Amino acid sequence: MHLYVIECERRDELLKHLKIKGVGASLHYPLAVHQHAAYANRIRGGDELPMTEHFYQKNLTLPMYPQLSEEKVEHVISAVISWFAAKKN
């Protein structure tokens, strides 16, 4: 695997929080897959994939690569947990 994708209802808020905390989270793809020009007319029903579009609006890619140190993994985890904890209050 080369991506660690999570789903979050308030993705953009979480992404902003992670960037402030120095976590390199991102939106891996700028559009849902079927909306990319390379896939035009290649996916059956590709014009209307509401579940895919719904999921895309909530997905966020967290850092994941072989050289990611355990310390940095803990930093990512702490940053995500701190955002969710703040939203509960």
pLDDT in tens, 13-27: 999 999 999 999 999
Dist. CA 34–CA 24, nearest whole Å: 25
> What's the full length of the chain, in residues?
89
Q: What is the pLDDT of residue 76?
A: 97
For the chain, residues with pLDDT lower than 70 are 1, 46, 89
Q: What is the pLDDT of residue 46?
A: 66
φ, ψ of residue 53 in degrees (nearest 5): -65, -40
Domains, the chain, ranges and CATH? 4-88 (3.90.1150.10)
Distances, alpha carbon 80 to alpha carbons 1, 2, 39, 46, 64, in Å: 21, 19, 33, 33, 14
